[in-house]
C-alpha cells in the first residue's frame, strides 16, 4: 500500500504500536496496581492524575485488580476482594488539567502548573473560598456548561494522596513538586511513569526525583516507550482543552494571579455513531477514528493484563502442587515453558489484532487519529455546540485551543468577581462534597466482621473428639 493510502505511517506500526510495547504497558499496569494497593495499606486514601498519558495505564491497573480477583480460587476470597476494591481509593480519583500551553513571551509553564497545584491544595483543605478553586469552578460552569460535581469525585483528595504522573524530561513534574512543597503538601506519594527508562531526564530534575525515591516518597515505573504521552485522545482517551484568552486576562488581573494562572478543562469522548466518514464529520457525536484506535489499544492492554494474571495464577498453583504430595505426579513442563507458551500465543494474538486495526484505520485514511487536523475536526463540533463563534486549533501535543467570543470571556470574569465578593459563596457547598473518605474504613470493618462471623466459636464443638466430649 502506498504511503498516501496509510492512515498512520509505517513508523508508528514499527516503533510505537507493536506487540512488545503493548505487553510492556500491560506489565506496567500490573506493577501500578500492586504499588497502589501497597500504598492503600499504608493509609493513602485518594488518587490525583494530572497527565493525559497516565490515564490508560491507570485504567489498565483497575483491570489488573479485577483479573486478580477473578483468578482467586474460593468464592469467599473473590467476594472479600471485591469488597476491598470497591472500598479502595481506586474510586477516589481526581483529574485536573495540568497541561501547560503558555504564551512563551509572557507566561511560564511553572506559573500554570502552580495554579493547578493551588487548586489541588484547596481541595485537600476543603477550602471552597480559595480564589484558584473558584476560578476553576467558573471555567467549568461557563466554558464546559457543567457543574463542578461532574468533574470532581465525591471523595476529594486528602493530604495523603497518590500522584500518578508521566515523565519525559522531568521538568514538568519538578515544577509541580516545587509547587507542592510550597503548599505544604508533603504527605503525598508520587508514582512516576518514566519514558525511555529515564534516559532523557535532565541532571537537576533527576537529582530531585532520586531524592524523593530515596526518601520513600516516590515510586518509579520505567518504560522504554511512553507512547500514550502527547499523542492525543486517540491513545489517552482524554481531550484536554486550553483557553489562551482567559489565561491572558487572568494573568496579573488579581494580586494572586501575577505569576500564577491557569485556564483549562478536560473531557472524555471515545464513543461514536457508526456512520460513514462523510456523514459523521461535523457532528459532535462523531468520533470514529479516535474510537477505533483508543478502543482497540485499550482492549489489547487489558488482554495483556489478563494473560499475565493467568500466567501468574498458573505458576502459583503449580508451586503449591509441587510442595504437596501431588508434586511427584506433576508433568515435566517447567514454569518457564508455561510462561513462554502463553506469551507466544499472546504475541500472535496482538500482532493479528494490530494488523486488523491497521486495515480498519486505513479505511479512514482522510482522518488519521494521530494528526492535529483530526483532533481539530472532531473537537470543533463539540465546542461549537457550546459557542457557535468559537475557533478551534490544536497544539503539537493535541491540546485543544479554544478562541472564545469576547462576551463569553467577560461573562466568566464578571461571574467570578461576583462570587469573590459574595462572602457566603463556596465552590464546595454542594452536598456532593460533604462526603468523607471513609468508604475504605467501612469496607474494612465489613470484611473484618464477615471474617469473624465465619470463624468457629472456640467454645463450640468443632468436631474434634476432646471438645465434643467435654461439651457433652
Handedness of CA 451, 38, 161, 267 (dihedral sign): negative
Neighbours of 254 (CB within 10 A): 15
Contacts with 7 (C-beta within 8 Å, 6 or more apart), sequence order: 289, 361, 362, 363, 364, 365, 367, 368, 369
Q: Report, in this order, helix, strand and coil percent for the chain, each rounded to 5.
A: 55, 10, 35
The whole-angstrom separation of Cα 363 and Cα 365 is 6
The whole-angstrom separation of Cα 341 and Cα 312 is 13
The pLDDT of residue 247: 96
Q: Of 423, 427, 381, 374, which is closest to residue 402 (Cα–Cα)?
A: 381
Which strand ranges, in their side-by-side order, compose the sheet holding 400-403? 264-267, 239-242, 400-403, 391-394
pLDDT tens-digit series, residues 425-467? 999 999 988 766 666 667 777 777 777 777 655 454 444 444 4
Residue 377 resides in a domain: yes
Residue 441 resides in a domain: no
Tell me the three state secondary structure of residue 333.
coil
Instruction: Give whole-number Cα distances, 211 to 134, 216, 361, in Å.
Output: 34, 9, 44
β-pair type (93-95, 161-167): unpaired
Tell me the three state secondary structure of residue 472.
coil
Contacts with 213 (C-beta within 8 Å, 6 or more apart), sequence order: 219, 220
- Asked if pLDDT for residue 265 goes beyond 90, the answer is yes
Residue 79 resides in a domain: yes
β-pair type (391-394, 264-267): unpaired
Average pLDDT over residues 237-255: 94
Residue 456 resides in a domain: no
- Asked if pLDDT for residue 280 goes beyond 70, the answer is no
Decide if 135 contacts 256 (C-beta within 8 A): no
Residue 472 resides in a domain: no
The pLDDT of residue 272: 55
Residue 470 resides in a domain: no
* % of the chain at pLDDT higher than 70: 87
- Asked if pLDDT for residue 468 goes beyond 90, the answer is no
- Asked if pLDDT for residue 423 goes beyond 70, the answer is yes
**Residue whose cell numbers read 487489558:** 302
Decide if 235 contacts 203 (C-beta within 8 A): no
Residue 389 resides in a domain: yes
Tell me the three state secondary structure of residue 214.
helix
Instruction: Give whole-number Cα distances, 443 to 33, 73, 437, in Å.
Output: 19, 21, 11
214-219 long-range contacts, CB within 8 A, separation 24+: 217/188, 217/189, 217/190, 218/189, 218/190, 218/191, 218/192, 219/35, 219/189, 219/190, 219/191, 219/192
Question: Measured over all CA atoms, what is the biggest interatomic distance in the chain, rounded to whole angstroms?
Answer: 90
> pTM higher than 0.75, yes or no?
yes
Write out the residue range of the structural domain in which residue 257 sits.
3-325+334-423
**What is the domain count for the chain?**
1
Q: Of 57, 172, 206, 187, which is closest to residue 124 (Cα–Cα)?
A: 187
Residue 227 resides in a domain: yes
The pLDDT of residue 236: 87
Q: Who has greater pLDDT, 322 or 352?
A: 352
Q: Of 437, 422, 373, which is closest to residue 156 (Cα–Cα)?
A: 437
Q: Of 136, 58, 133, which is closest to residue 93 (Cα–Cα)?
A: 58
Alpha helix (H) ranges present in 93-224? 109-125, 131-143, 171-182, 203-214
The pLDDT of residue 36: 96
Amino acid at each position: 500500500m502506498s504511503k498516501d493510502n496509510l492512515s498512520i505511517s509505517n513508523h508508528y506500526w514499527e516503533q510505537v504500536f507493536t506487540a512488545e510495547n503493548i505487553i510492556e504497558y500491560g506489565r506496567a499496569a500490573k506493577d501500578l496496581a500492586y504499588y497502589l494497593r501497597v500504598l492503600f495499606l499504608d493509609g493513602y486514601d485518594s488518587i490525583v492524575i494530572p497527565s493525559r498519558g497516565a490515564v490508560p495505564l491507570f485504567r489498565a491497573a483497575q483491570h489488573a485488580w479485577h483479573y486478580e480477583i477473578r483468578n482467586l480460587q474460593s468464592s469467599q476470597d473473590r467476594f472479600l476482594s471485591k469488597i476491598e476494591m470497591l472500598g479502595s481509593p481506586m474510586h477516589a480519583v481526581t483529574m485536573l488539567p495540568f497541561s501547560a500551553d503558555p504564551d512563551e513571551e509572557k507566561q511560564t509553564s511553572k506559573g500554570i502548573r502552580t495554579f493547578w497545584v493551588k487548586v489541588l491544595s484547596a481541595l485537600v483543605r476543603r477550602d471552597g473560598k480559595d480564589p484558584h478553586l473558584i476560578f476553576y469552578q467558573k471555567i467549568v460552569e461557563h466554558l464546559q456548561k457543567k457543574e463542578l460535581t461532574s468533574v470532581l469525585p465525591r471523595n476529594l483528595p486528602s493530604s495523603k494522596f497518590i500522584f500518578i504522573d508521566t515523565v519525559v524530561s522531568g521538568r514538568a513534574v519538578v515544577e509541580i513538586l516545587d509547587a507542592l512543597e510550597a503548599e505544604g503538601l508533603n504527605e503525598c506519594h508520587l508514582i512516576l511513569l518514566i519514558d525511555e527508562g529515564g534516559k532523557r531526564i535532565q541532571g537537576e530534575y533527576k537529582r530531585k526525583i532520586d531524592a524523593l525515591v530515596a526518601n520513600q516518597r516516590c515510586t518509579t515505573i520505567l518504560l522504554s516507550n511512553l507512547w500514550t504521552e502527547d499523542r492525543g485522545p486517540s491513545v489517552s482517551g482524554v481531550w484536554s482543552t486550553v483557553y489562551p484568552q482567559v489565561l491572558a486576562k487572568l494573568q496579573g488581573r488579581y494580586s494572586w494571579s501575577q505569576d500564577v494562572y491557569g485556564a483549562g478543562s478536560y473531557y472524555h469522548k471515545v464513543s461514536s455513531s457508526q456512520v460513514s466518514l462523510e456523514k459523521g464529520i461535523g457532528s459532535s457525536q462523531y468520533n470514529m477514528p479516535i474510537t477505533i484506535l483508543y478502543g482497540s489499544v485499550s482492549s489489547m492492554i487489558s488482554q495483556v493484563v489478563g494473560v499475565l494474571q493467568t500466567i501468574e495464577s498458573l505458576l502459583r498453583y503449580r508451586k503449591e502442587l509441587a510442595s504437596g504430595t501431588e508434586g511427584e505426579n506433576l508433568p515435566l513442563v517447567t514454569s518457564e515453558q508455561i510462561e513462554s507458551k502463553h506469551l507466544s500465543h499472546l504475541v500472535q494474538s496482538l500482532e493479528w489484532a494490530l494488523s486488523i486495526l491497521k486495515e480498519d484505520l486505513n479505511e479512514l485514511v482522510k482522518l488519521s487519529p494521530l494528526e492535529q487536523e483530526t483532533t481539530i475536526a472532531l473537537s470543533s463540533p463539540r465546542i461549537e455546540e457550546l459557542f457557535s463563534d468559537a475557533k478551534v486549533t490544536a497544539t503539537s501535543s493535541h491540546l485543544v485551543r479554544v478562541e472564545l467570543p469576547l462576551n463569553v470571556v467577560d461573562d466568566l470574569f464578571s461571574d467570578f468577581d461576583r462570587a469573590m465578593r459574595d462572602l457566603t459563596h463556596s465552590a464546595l457547598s454542594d452536598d456532593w462534597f460533604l462526603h468523607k473518605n471513609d468508604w475504605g474504613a467501612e469496607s474494612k470493618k465489613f470484611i473484618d466482621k464477615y471474617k469473624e462471623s465465619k470463624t468457629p466459636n472456640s467454645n463450640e464443638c468443632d468436631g474434634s473428639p476432646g471438645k465434643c466430649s467435654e461439651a457433652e
